[in-house]
Chains A and B, each alone.
Chain A
Amino acid sequence: MIKYFIKRLLWTIPVMLGVLVVVFTITYFTPGDPVMTILGTGYTPERYAAMAHEFGLDKGYFGQIGSYIWNLISQGSFGKSFASNIPIAQEIAIRFPVTLKLALLSTFFVVIVGLPLGILSATKQYSAFDTSLTAVALILCAVPSFILALLSLILFGVKLRWLPISGLDTWKSWILPVATNALGGIAVLMRMTRTTMLEVIRQDYIRTARAKGLKESVVIRRHALQNCLIPVLTVIGSNLTMQLAGAIIIETIFNINGMGMYLMQGILARDYPVINGTVILIAFIVCVMNLAVDLLYALVDPRIKAQYTSGKRKAKAIRKLRSAKTEVE
């Protein structure tokens, strides 16, 4: 199990390198001259050359990507922002916790609302509750989160003045960003849970559990839920990454100073190191999330766990066999 974990962790290295090269290459070949962006109008060729040298922009593609990777590995540095000249790692350190908190809070609500609603919907299939919930979920799945964000901003922030419309100063100001970011995820998770649950409660072992005389609530909790959780875990995992992506839009709309807004500013200002740094970090989080989901699978499903451990056992058996053989020889 630990061996598997380490193997998977090591695999993230080539993946991250690939992401890094792709992101860097895209920003490198994007039309537009960053030095000109920094200097604005009216500069001398000497000033241009000095600036290009300061940011290492005179080194060519391979030189630049090489030193970028070297700096990242040796110092954990993402370079400096063209616009502000502040180290990007420093900026990210302030903003990343905000985005992570937003994403985790949204995911938390996605799980505690979406999962129970999906289960209820499945156990009361075709009831009025189920049909109306399914209809609402269908609409929520189809509406992009930025529309939801804008509409709720207008309704609760501007018209009714119940909730603040920007920043993250009080707990109240978290409500709209988290809610609008979570709603789509809730709808997706609910539908997924419902479908999975409907399939699970038709299984023979659920009938066996009922034939034991267990209460329906116990049958659902003890026998159906865990079996239903296995496919649902994937949705929850991919949801957290979706929440990170959604945060870019949500932060921009609600004027929240997180990674998303930072990335947006970077894109608008052609501040390439900022774009590179934020995208690479988000990619890293996605990698880690996938790994975490895979490990959770093994925790929930003994069949998957057995695959990992049986490999070890097999290896042990083979080793034993070999040593026995050599003894004979």
Chain B
Amino acid sequence: MVDKRLIDQLRQIVGNENVLTSKISLETYAFDASPYSGRPSVVVFPTTTEMVVAIVNIANEKNIPLMPRGAGSCLSGGAVAPDGSIVISLTKMNNILEIDPLSKIALVEPGITNKQVQLAVESYGLMYAPDPASQNISTIGGNIAENAGGIRGVKYGSTKDHIIGLEVVLPTGDVITTGNIHSHVEPELDLTYYFCGSEGTLGIVTKAWLALSPINAEVKTMTAIFGSLENAGSCVADIIAQGVVPTTMEIMDNIVIKAVDDYLKLGLPRDAEALLLLEVDGFSSDVKTQVNSIINAFATNHALSYKIAGNEQERQDLWKARRSVNGALGKLKPANIVHDIVVPRDRLAIMLEKVAQLAKKYGIIIGQVAHAGDGNLHPTLYYDHRIPEEVEIIEEACDEIIKETIAQGGTISGEHGIGIEKLKYMPLAFNKPTLHLMKKIKDAFDPKNICNPGKLLPQITED
């Protein structure tokens, strides 16, 4: 049962309306966008750093697990509440505190959505480069904690490349500021990096200084269709080899193309085996040369046809198609698992083929999208969670996908995080000394292991 005194204390800190304790409301905080769920004991909505500190102090004193939460769009279970935990929802700390267009810095609270940041800085001719497909809802805090990557990732990198500094409430209740906000000289040991991808296990981000980038003068968006995934994969490797750096290169397979087209009715090529969507930006002369090299690569890799988006509407439609992939696929079966594997770019074609073969071998549906430019694949496996045999087959197929990834020299997560889902694969991806070091780092930040326990770091077996 929930400790009545604890609830009173929390109410005093954040106010009655900012504490949820009923069974029903907790039920809606049990889960995120992954298939897992947990049992929180209370949800609080702080609005200031001081409130966060006060909440953390109580948790620390009483040894209660806590979990920061943004939009709850995490795909790996990172935002699934640990049993008995205090969920700290940052969604009411959602202000933009400052935009400095000269230094190209925005200071924001963690609960603001990525999209709202984009809208606010757009009028200065600026953008915040990381743009995950969940940008309309996912929060900056969640983006940092998952080190979210975006569609522009090939050229601009991921979240960690665009964070100048952070204010963090540590699990001990101390508040630290990382980074070197007033100078571009990096400090020796950059603490900011630790928090990017920490999955809420090292502390709670309460402010972030974001680096903004100028919006490029010209953008060209193109699509090409291929008769096989392999050709699409080789085409990507070829483009990179020619020295072209598109902002994006996304591959969708036939299953995905059809599902998205069913949803958006955009007239996508429904019988194409693979669709490559790519975008280049820069000054107009620069864009022209890039486009030419890409068209050459299309030809050498047997593209069946290609198209350049004629206007902004066509471009937006294509992006909408890409951003809708996750949701559109939800229609195929009641449950799915999205993988987030990364392989070296020259192995992309092989990996896509291998996954397609696995789908055949197990007789299951696997939809594939890939942020091909950085070798990040998202094979999604569809099943009915109510049928135990299906669940079993899916688990087997997942294990095989991961083994294949590692055999190709790859790793298990590009951007969705380890969370709960990939805990069991950590010992495959990292050797013992590495895992031990990670554990030591965790202990240094969170000696009592109260901050989002049970995620990211596996139990290390001593044998």
- The answer to whether A and B belong to the same complex is no
